[in-house]
């Protein structure tokens, strides 16, 4: 079957001397993996290895056999040539962090158009904005809406956040109930836009504690989720 679809590069892994195994989140087919033969040595081919940097936005034509094996990209073009996403050190660190998060969060080989459009919009926003100090916090919170475990805010005035159940409550009922300044700050993010959330003032400690809490929250709600390898770099930058 031949498919044509916009796609987001999640990761690419070198295979041998000249090949790449590429993981793409496609708009029409969900998460798919492809073997690109000879792309690392090809100088004249239409498909370049530079196309497969993390979070690149592509338009692909691909052959899908749907047999659980690696598929093949027949043609690809870059949809957006970024201004700063892969050249600005802070943004490129966020790119690797987001890529790591998505590797553990997206598993389905089926379309999720709303999630795709959220990721596409978010990537473009990051490329074109300079105030990005709270970007990773906002990105993770909004991502939970599309993965099905956005916190229930009906009792948001209670001081405890129960990470296991995704609710706010008056007292502690399990090991995953937390309270404190970082929970109070976390509440402010809920329901804000990306632009508004960049104006939320956080101490280094609060930013770090919110991030730690969110990653535990993801671990509790996503089977197989792993803390991103890029986390230490991100903490160093934003702390």
Helix and strand totals (H; E) in the chain: 7, 8
In a domain, 97, yes or no: yes
Decide if pLDDT at 3 tops 90.
no
- On whether both 146 and 176 belong to a single domain, the answer is yes
Q: Does the pLDDT value for residue 42 go beyond 80?
A: no
- pLDDT band with cut points at 50, 70 and 90 for residue 234: confident
Determine what percent of the chain is predicted with pLDDT higher than 90.
81
Question: What are 142-154's pLDDT values in tens digits?
Answer: 999 999 999 999 9
Would the pLDDT of 121 be above 90? yes
Check pLDDT > 80 for residue 139: yes
On whether both 118 and 190 belong to a single domain, the answer is yes
Task: Give the pLDDT confidence score for residue 155 in this predicted structure.
Answer: 97
Residues 170 and 229 placed together within one structural domain of the fold: yes
pLDDT band for position 225 (cuts 50, 70, 90): very high
Summarize pLDDT for 56-95 with one digit per residue, the tens.
Answer: 999 999 989 887 789 999 999 999 999 999 999 999 999 9
Would the pLDDT of 39 be above 90?
A: no
The 3-state DSSP class for residue 106 equals: coil
Count of all residues that appear for the chain in the document: 239
Q: Are residues 125 and 66 in the same domain?
A: no
Across 135-168, b (16+ Cβ under 10 Å) vs e yields: bbbbbbbbbbebeebebeeeeeebbbbbbebbbb
- Asked if 215 and 145 sit in the same domain, the reply is yes
Let me know: does 230 contact 93? Beta carbons within 8 Å. Answer: yes
Kindly state whether residues 214 and 128 are assigned to the same domain.
yes
Q: Give which of 130, 230, 144, 224 is closest to 190, Cα–Cα.
A: 144
Q: Which residues contact 82 (CB under 8 A, 6 or more apart)?
A: 127
> Do 131 and 44 fall into the same domain?
no
Average pLDDT, the chain: 93
**55 and 31 share one domain:** yes
Which pLDDT value is given to residue 100?
95
Domain of residue 213, CATH code: 1.20.1440.120
6 lies in which domain range? 2-78
Tell me the pLDDT tens digit for each residue of 174-207. Answer: 999 999 999 999 999 998 999 999 999 999 999 9
CATH code of the domain in which 45 resides: 2.40.50.140
Task: Examine residue 212 and state whether it is found in any structural domain, yes or no.
Answer: yes
């Amino acid at each position: 079957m031949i498919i044509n679809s916009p796609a987001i590069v999640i990761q690419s892994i070198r295979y041998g001397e000249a090949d790449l195994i590429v993981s793409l989140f496609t708009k029409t087919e969900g998460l798919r993996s492809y073997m690109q033969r000879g792309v690392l040595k090809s100088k004249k081919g239409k498909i370049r290895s530079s196309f497969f940097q993390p979070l690149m936005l592509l338009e692909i034509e691909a052959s899908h056999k749907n047999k659980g094996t690696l598929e093949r990209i027949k043609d690809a073009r870059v949809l957006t040539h970024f201004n700063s996403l892969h050249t600005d050190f802070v943004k490129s660190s966020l790119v690797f962090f987001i890529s790591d998060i998505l590797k553990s969060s997206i598993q389905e080989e089926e379309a999720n158009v709303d999630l795709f459009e959220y990721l596409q919009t978010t990537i473009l926003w990051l490329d074109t904005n300079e105030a990005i100090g709270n970007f990773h916090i906002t990105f993770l919170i909004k991502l939970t809406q599309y993965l099905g475990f956005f916190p229930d805010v009906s009792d948001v005035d209670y001081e405890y956040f129960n990470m296991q159940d995704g609710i706010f409550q008056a007292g502690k009922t399990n090991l995953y109930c937390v309270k404190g300044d970082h929970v109070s700050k976390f509440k402010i993010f809920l329901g804000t836009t990306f632009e508004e959330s960049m104006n939320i003032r956080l101490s280094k400690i609060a930013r770090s504690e919110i991030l730690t809490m969110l990653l535990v929250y993801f671990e509790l709600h996503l089977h197989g989720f792993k803390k991103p390898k890029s986390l230490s770099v991100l903490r160093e930058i934003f702390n």
